[in-house]
A and B are shown apart, each in its own frame.
Chain A
Amino acid sequence: MSASLFWFVLLTPVWAASLHALVGRVEAAKAQPRQRIAFLCCVVSVALVTNAVLILEFFIYAGDGTLVMFAGIASTLLAHIYFHIFNMSETARRIRILLEIQQGISPEASPYGDGSMVNVRLDRLCELGQISLQDGRYVGKRSFLGLASRIVYWHERLLFPRRFKAH
């Protein structure tokens, strides 16, 4: 693979972040859930990078078709890292606590407590269409995030079995 194309693939998070910064400022995008916009920017970046490799390596340089697979997998993994960094900035409790303390708001004085932590997540999941509110009760839906959550949950149980014995 040519070095310039290799670096182009490696810079997938930069393309995703740049696209995200542009799209996020569009009024229509501001009305959408933030994670949905971030996810779409990652998908578009991966598609652009993979197609660029397809066109350049496969059609112009008559290179190996598996290089397109390599570019697709590498750019997906890179975009996934970017998405998680964004997700941390949006949803991580520890990041919020750090930023509040930086602004001089102690955890005791913060309006962000266990109640708001739960409510923010319920609202966010409803907005993303992952759960729904029916007759005052929150109901789960079949979704990719639900499946991913079960995999994460079981992996957590594998990693920290003592944590679950107490419950």
Chain B
Amino acid sequence: MNQTLIDVSYWWIGLLTYAPFHALHLWVWRNKPPRHEVLELFLYLFLLPTGIWLIWVGLQWGPTLSVGAVLLHWLLAANYVAIYPAFQASSPTVHLLCLLARHPQGLSADQVFKELTRTTALRDRVKDLRDSRLLVGDGKKLELSRSGKLIAGFFVGFRKFLGLGRGAG
């Protein structure tokens, strides 16, 4: 049976090529934190490696990477971008679990509240939304920007598809 084949040989190379670009991202963030984090994340993890691959292939410096290798690199990058908000916004769940791990005797709800809101507060998330231009306006007149409406619309549709109401947050 004739069938189209896709080259996924040496796919594991894609797992190795991701590491240096992740290290570059870490180095840049520690030394010169970017203003537009998401854009620069795409630059270092997607655009830069893809550009290098295209130049590599164009100049025929060596064997080309298979589709499988490129896909795995992109999937690792996409997974990291998916969990990046947990780093950027100081995930309360992560901090809560680490807090309880440091206090094996346990903590009361008040103690948990006091510690968690010291490191991560909701007002900071409203500021994040304004800095990312998902919200526009100021004070009591906050509105969704066009991108904010797109994102909100996506999640509303997604939750309806799953038969669920709004998440608890």
**A residues in contact (CB < 8 Å) with B:** 1-4, 6, 10, 17, 20-21, 24-25, 34, 66-67, 70, 73-74, 77-78, 80-81, 84-86, 88-99, 101-102, 106-108, 112-122, 124-125, 130-131, 134-140, 145-146, 149-150, 152-153, 155-156, 158-163, 167
Contact = CB atoms under 8 A, between A and B. Distances in A.
A160 B29 contact: yes
Interface in B78-137: 78-79, 82-83, 85-87, 89-98, 100-101, 103-109, 112-113, 116-119, 121-123, 125-126, 128-129, 134-135
Contacts of B135: 98, 101
Contacts of B140: 106, 108
Given A114-B113, A131-B97, A146-B101, A93 B122 contact: yes
B26 A121 contact: no
B125 A89 contact: no
B60 interface: no
Contacts of A74: 68, 71-72, 75
B148 interface: yes
* Secondary structure of the B contact surface, majority rule: helix
B103 to A, nearest CB: 8
B52 interface: no
Contacts of A86: 158, 162
Interface in B120-164: 121-123, 125-126, 128-129, 134-135, 140, 142-144, 148-149, 151-152, 155-156, 158-159, 161-164
Contacts of A135: 106
A95 B169 contact: yes
B94 to A, nearest CB: 4
B6 A152 contact: no
A91 B8 contact: no
B166 interface: yes
Interface of B: 3-6, 8, 11, 15, 26, 29-30, 33, 67-68, 71-72, 75-76, 78-79, 82-83, 85-87, 89-98, 100-101, 103-109, 112-113, 116-119, 121-123, 125-126, 128-129, 134-135, 140, 142-144, 148-149, 151-152, 155-156, 158-159, 161-164, 166-169
A118 B164 contact: no
Contacts, number: 226
Contacts of A81: 75, 78-79, 82
B152 to A, nearest CB: 5
B5 A155 contact: no
B29 A101 contact: no
Instruction: Say what secondary structure dominates the interface of chain A.
Output: helix
B106 A137 contact: yes
Contacts of B118: 167
Contacts of A88: 85, 155
